Amino acid sequence: MKRRNFDFAALTTASTSDLTLHAQWARDQNDPVATGQILAAANSRRLKAFRSVASTLFPELKSPEPIKWLLDAEDICRRFTRTSSGNHHIYIALLEGYRKDAPYRPYVGESRYRPETRYQNHKAGRHCSRVVYRRGICLLPTLYDHLNPLPRVEAKQIERQLADALRQGAIPTEGGS
């Protein structure tokens, strides 16, 4: 899989048509990290722009809604820092298909694999969480990139604390056990 690193600041200032082109590329490449970055950038736009980008990324969703809790989640996640480096990773996947008032929620996990590899394992059904296998849309790297890589003990601890902090911030969260 060819990986493209996006500058998130540049994505937030890109035009809707440019974001839609990036979204087509991310969908064609099946890149969950780029998908999450593009979706997060589109989330700050007008509803029409968000729906244009989201329907390009996820044509199966009938009427995509903006992710209301994403900015709050970014603030909560930025409070966490790592103390040392290691070979484990924290990841946060976006799940869909819940109630109408909260159509999306995050799933917090940790793994010895890179987040994109772990997410692809979930979607392929290998050692997966059923909820990510069935409802996973993409990864949200803007929430966890600053934390990786971590030592195993610290990754397990931060996974639990991060999920609890998101729940305390009134964001319905899966995982984090």
Q: Quick: pLDDT tens for 109-162.
A: 999 999 999 999 999 998 989 999 999 988 999 899 999 999 999 999 999 999
| pLDDT tens-place string over residues 45-74 | 888 888 888 888 888 776 678 888 988 999
Q: Which long-range contacts (CB under 8 A, 24 or more apart) does 48-52 make?
A: 49/16, 49/19, 52/16, 52/20
What is the value of pTM for the model shown?
0.84
Degrees, nearest 5: CA angle 83-89-92: 110
122's enclosing H/E stretch is helix 115-124
| pLDDT tens-place string over residues 67-97 | 889 889 999 999 999 999 899 999 999 998 7
Task: Please give the order of strands across the beta sheet that includes 174-175.
Answer: 136-139, 89-96, 104-111, 174-175
Q: Determine if the peptide bond prior to 149 is cis (ω within 30°).
A: yes
| CA 120/CA 106 separation, integer angstroms | 16
Degrees, nearest 5: CA angle 41-47-49: 55
Which residues on adjacent β-strands are paired with residue 109? 91
